[in-house]
């Protein structure tokens, strides 16, 4: 009896070890995705709350990103068209174009805040930058403050900025912009309100979707794999042992 138990243990040692290693990993991945979903749920709640608040005034003091992110903000100033950025490969209704991002010099200071004024079509070809008329008079800008992703996928590093301003960018990089200019910059980009007349273009901003359902879906997949692993382990270890025991009895009878 003892000999048979030792043989079974030795025979199943590898699958048992694999089971004990993989099962906790699958369960931990499932709970990690649930935790990520909860974080995104809190982020979504913060966005909804801040969007419903009275617009926050932006002044010359450079603030931390989290102080302004997702708030509806209001600021007065003058557009600085010399440092306008055209964000490439932005699609609207199937047509390729650019987002026009222009710094606004906050009234009474040298601090700028970037304003995404909306979408413009590509034009005839990429060798010619489309026209994006910029008002010169004092503007009252209202919109949602966003923080561009610090890490984006690139096939190649961005070109180094030279003394001549390069207006066409693939992604909005706040660090790159701040290092290229001589004035202080707020760490956010304002999505110009669709109803604002402060020098805007096509603005059909999407409501923030933090991806809660995606993380919940991933969690379900990891937990399903854990359940499937348990079923496979029980079938191949215990079921196979029963089959061998039955065959052994038939041979002795």
pLDDT tens digits, the chain, 253 residues: what are they? 556 555 665 666 777 788 888 999 999 999 999 988 887 787 777 777 666 667 889 999 999 998 888 888 999 999 999 999 999 999 998 899 999 999 999 999 999 999 999 999 987 777 888 889 999 999 999 999 999 876 544 444 455 554 578 899 999 999 999 999 999 999 999 999 988 888 889 998 877 666 778 888 999 999 999 999 888 888 776 665 555 555 555 545 5
Cβ contacts of 43 within 8 Å, gap of 6 or more: 210
pTM to 2 decimal places: 0.67
CB 172 within 8 A of CB 101: yes
Kindly report the three-state secondary structure assignment for every residue of 171-187.
CCCHHHHHHHCCCCEEE
Buried b / exposed e across 44-66, counting CB within 10 Å, b at 16+? bebbeebeeeebbebbbeebeee
Main-chain phi, psi angles of 39, to 5 degrees: -60, -45
């Amino acid at each position: 009896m003892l000999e048979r138990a030792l043989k079974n243990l030795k025979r199943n040692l590898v699958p048992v070890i694999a089971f004990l290693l993989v099962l906790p990993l699958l369960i931990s991945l499932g709970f990690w995705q649930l935790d990520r979903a909860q974080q995104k749920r809190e982020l979504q709640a913060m966005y909804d709350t801040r969007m419903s608040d009275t617009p926050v005034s932006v002044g010359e003091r450079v603030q931390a990103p989290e102080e302004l992110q997702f708030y509806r903000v209001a600021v007065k100033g003058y557009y600085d068209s010399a440092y306008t950025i055209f964000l490439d490969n932005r699609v609207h209704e199937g047509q390729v174009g650019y987002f026009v991002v222009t710094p606004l010099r906050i009234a009474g200071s040298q601090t700028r805040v970037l304003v995404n004024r909306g979408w413009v079509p590509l034009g005839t070809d990429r060798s010619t930058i489309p026209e994006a008329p910029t008002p010169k008079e004092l503007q009252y800008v209202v919109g949602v403050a966003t923080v561009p992703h610090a890490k984006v996928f690139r096939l190649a590093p961005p070109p180094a900025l030279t003394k001549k301003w390069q207006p066409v960018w693939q992604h909005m990089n706040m660090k790159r912009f701040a290092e290229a200019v001589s004035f202080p910059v707020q760490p956010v980009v304002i999505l110009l309100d669709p109803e604002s007349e402060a020098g805007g273009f096509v603005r059909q901003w999407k409501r923030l979707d933090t991806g809660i359902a995606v993380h919940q879906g991933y969690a379900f997949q990891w937990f399903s794999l854990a359940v499937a692993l348990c079923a496979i382990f029980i079938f191949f270890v215990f079921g196979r042992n029963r089959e061998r025991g039955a065959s052994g009895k038939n041979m002795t009878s």
